[in-house]
Structure 1
Amino acid sequence: MSEKVLVAGVGMIPFSKPGASPSYTEMGAEATRRALADAGIGYDDVQQAFAGYVYGDSTCGQTALYEVGMTGIPIVNVNNNCSTGSTALYLARQAIATGDADCVLALGFEQMQAGPLRSFWTDRPVTRARFQPIMHSLTADMDGMPQALRTFGGAGREYMQRYGAGMETFAAVRAKASRHAANNPLALFRKVLTTEDVLNDTVLLPGVMTRLMACPPTCGGAAAILVSERFARKHGLRTDVQILAQALTTDPPASFDPPSMLNYVGTHMTRSAANKVYEKAGIGPEDIDVCELHDCFAQNEVISYEALGFCPEGGAEKFVRDGDNTYGGKVVVGPSGGLMSKGHPLGATGLAQCFELTHQLRGTAEQRQVPGARLALQHNLGLGGACVVTLYGGN
């Protein structure tokens, strides 16, 4: 038997630049308080908590949550790279679906430093060390670039070479994100950009990527309260948003063999997770009204359209050109502004996506509202690797 899992409350704080944010303790605690207030319950009602972050010492989750309450509940700290927030959500949903708990908190926060992502451990193997020679050989001309830029830039270039897409496609995706973020008071960047603005920005990879196509390092926090249906009815909580299906996948051998940067950045993980969700829910990608996906780079958004099934392989350029990724098109992608405009505090990103889609299904997204939204898809990717795809349904 699987219990119905409802999203009773969500909370999020405005994202900010490194150095301008409160501490992770304050951000995590405030996001939690907002989620509890949105749900209409107290911290004493929470039976378990999963706290996600990437950069921090052990038990940061307890440190943040002790500011809200010290009730002795199980608190599990989660680190799954950029999919950390959604992995915390996955574990919270699983606890309720299996009947182990009736009210669970999923929390994500990140206090990031300025500059490119980097490892703080220099005395041991880096993650994906076994497979990095593949990336190094396919992007040998990018030696010296930050690893994330090299990885997703290499995937973008391979996509262009394979399907004949132009750099303008990536620029148009970034411009779309800025238009959406302009209506999101919690987004880091709210300035509207044109495709030309993006193309004319500082070049990071000639012919492939400019600086505006990359998400910024960001600090922030977000949280969700998940409950069983019986708990919601007993406590008079809202029951209008449900997690219909969810999947977490890791790398299959095909991520690395044959060597391909498109595979290296997780397309197999994404496709597998999405297909599992569609099959479990008995729907197809054509049924999705709104989607928050992992647009850490504009290149990855384009690649993810196809992996999620929104368009056929090689069809993303037409999908973008026809406006099928925005209001009035087939599926509104990134109404929050996505990672590129809203920001990407690694541990908080997955819960911020949940926050946005919950409001979309409630009909409370204000200027960002997708008319008639009933099915919402969330895609959160972490290289190393893990991908979480979540389907939400609204009444």
Structure 2
Amino acid sequence: MTGGDMRRVHIAGVGMVPFSTPSRSEPYDVQAAAAVRNALADAGIGLDQVQQAYAGYVYGDSTSGQRALYGVGMTGIPVVNVNNNCSTGSSALWLARQAVAGGAAECVLAFGFEQMERGALTVKWPDRPSPFDEFIGFADKHDADTDGGTGDAPFAARLFGAAGAAYAERHGVDPATFAMIAVKARRHAKHNPYAVFRDEVTLEEVLASPRIYGPLTRLQCCPPTCGAAAAIVTSADFARRHGLRTDVAIAAQAMTTDRPDTFENPPNLVGFEMARRAADEVYDAAGVSPEDIRIVELHDCFTTNELLSYEALRLTPDGTAERFVRDGDNTYGGRVVTNPSGGLLSKGHPLGATGLAQCAELTWQLRGRAGDRQVDGVTLALQHNIGLGGAAVVTLYEKVN
């Protein structure tokens, strides 16, 4: 992942478009082209200076990345299409960083987009083996519900709901604690012009919304979302030669996949151990401690996963996530401002764009340009993005003087 021969990598520019519901979305190529133009303008370069591009999306034909980028320009550069489920955007960024750090290129574009359908995620190819067969089989054997009635819930909600229920049973967590995370997400999203849901909700409204699975109610589940985001990744030498900004760098980054222990308990089934291993690699490579982190954009596709991720990322000791929430340590004035953007729950979750939208938010935070969402004194920022089936990508950004 890192080494003495690896070059320092900078985020020279970021861009995104406001996320939207499927009924209000523009086509994916229009959204993606707009996000790329925004990132290029932010960096102050043209597409002709980009040497490689990595395009992330989950739902689309195999060269949709080219279709999207051709709307900006056709420069003949390599375009690699990336699909790693919900961690797709971060996987594209991981590849871009590797290309620059390893010396294969000096200026690389990572962008992600999604034009999603209404409704919950479904398996698109039922005529062949699914990467989720073993995951869903585990959920069938470890049903989180004690009263039945939600066994027909979407598979993602079943998996994340089961993980939350297992944690709650082990540690005696009040279901209202999960709901408090949704309230916090809306409160943060109120100040984000890119977010889908910006109206605040009360704890009572969250708990009263229709039950989906285990402790999850509808307002604790991320919505199907369309959108796009992009980042320009450069070497320090390229940035200096072209007068680009070098104030945000990737201090460390790691990607992990599943091990056999994934199928030993429900939290691991949704990426707990994958995320923990990736986070530990990042902390070790950067020479920092979890206690040094004051801001994080993490993968809150469901409230249960946000709570689990506090511990997976070692932001709070094992078994203390409920106290972390109830003490307000996950928001402004607390120990770690979690998802100042509103996160997947409120900003939205266009699968291919999510990781790069997290990158954009944290870049703005490190630059001090996050407006009413700004977290004071940010010098390090952590990003966590997972995809079932599976991959976890953890990225640490640092402010460079």
Separation in structure 2 between the aligned mates of residue 9 and residue 131 of structure 1, nearest angstrom: 38
Which residue number corresponds to residue 202 of structure 1? Answer: 210
Alignment of 1:379-394 (within 5 A): 379-394=384-399
Query: Please, which moves more after superposition, 197-206 or 102-111?
Result: 197-206
Given that 2:300 and 2:345 are in contact with CA atoms closer than 8 Å, whether structure 1 keeps it comes out as yes
Separation in structure 2 between the aligned mates of residue 167 and residue 177 of structure 1, nearest angstrom: 17
CA displacement at 1:134 relative to structure 2: 1.6
Which residue number corresponds to residue 162 of structure 2? Answer: 154
Q: Does 1:318 align with 2:323?
A: yes
Q: Does 1:42 align with 2:46?
A: yes
Which residue number corresponds to residue 134 of structure 1? Answer: 138
State how many pairs are aligned.
Answer: 392
Alignment of 1:366-377 (within 5 A): 366-377=371-382
Q: Does 1:212 align with 2:216?
A: no
Query: Please, which moves more after superposition, 78-87 or 113-122?
Result: 113-122
Separation in structure 2 between the aligned mates of residue 384 and residue 185 of structure 1, nearest angstrom: 32
Which residue number corresponds to residue 178 of structure 1? Answer: 186
Which residue number corresponds to residue 109 of structure 1? Answer: 113
CA displacement at 1:99 relative to structure 2: 0.5
- Deviations 1:201-224 (CA, angstroms, capped at 9, x unpaired): 222236x11100000000000000
CA displacement at 1:339 relative to structure 2: 0.2
Alignment of 1:324-363 (within 5 A): 324-363=329-368
Given that 2:11 and 2:249 are in contact with CA atoms closer than 8 Å, whether structure 1 keeps it comes out as yes
CA displacement at 1:131 relative to structure 2: 4.3
Q: Does 1:223 align with 2:223?
A: no
**Runs of 4+ residues deviating >4 angstroms:** none
Query: Please, which moves more after superposition, 188-197 or 30-39?
Result: 188-197
1:282 to 269, 278, 287: 287
Which residue number corresponds to residue 192 of structure 1? Answer: 200
Q: Does 1:255 align with 2:259?
A: no
For 2:391, give the aligned amino acid: A
For 2:381, give the aligned amino acid: A
For 1:138, give the aligned amino acid: H
Percent of aligned pairs with the same amino acid: 61
For 2:342, give the aligned amino acid: G
TM-score (normalizing by structure 2): 0.96
CA displacement at 1:263 relative to structure 2: 1.2
TM-score (normalizing by structure 1): 0.98
Separation in structure 1 between the aligned mates of residue 332 and residue 92 of structure 2, nearest angstrom: 30
SS in 2 for 1:19: helix
For 1:161, give the aligned amino acid: E
Alignment of 1:74-85 (within 5 A): 74-85=78-89
2:8 to 4, 7, 20: 4
Separation in structure 2 between the aligned mates of residue 193 and residue 294 of structure 1, nearest angstrom: 20
Which residue number corresponds to residue 235 of structure 1? Answer: 242
1:28 to 12, 32, 38: 32
Separation in structure 2 between the aligned mates of residue 368 and residue 157 of structure 1, nearest angstrom: 31
Separation in structure 2 between the aligned mates of residue 130 and residue 6 of structure 1, nearest angstrom: 39
Which residue number corresponds to residue 307 of structure 2? Answer: 302
SS in 2 for 1:373: coil
For 1:81, give the aligned amino acid: N
Separation in structure 1 between the aligned mates of residue 134 and residue 181 of structure 2, nearest angstrom: 33
- The unaligned stretches of length 5 or more in structure 2 are none
Given that 2:177 and 2:322 are in contact with CA atoms closer than 8 Å, whether structure 1 keeps it comes out as yes
SS in 2 for 1:306: helix
Which residue number corresponds to residue 166 of structure 1? Answer: 174
Q: Does 1:96 align with 2:104?
A: no
CA displacement at 1:111 relative to structure 2: 0.1
RMSD (Å) for aligned C-alpha atoms: 1.0
Separation in structure 2 between the aligned mates of residue 144 and residue 205 of structure 1, nearest angstrom: 9
Separation in structure 2 between the aligned mates of residue 121 and residue 133 of structure 1, nearest angstrom: 17
Given that 2:225 and 2:349 are in contact with CA atoms closer than 8 Å, whether structure 1 keeps it comes out as yes
Separation in structure 2 between the aligned mates of residue 44 and residue 112 of structure 1, nearest angstrom: 30
- Deviations 1:310-336 (CA, angstroms, capped at 9, x unpaired): 111110000001111011111100000
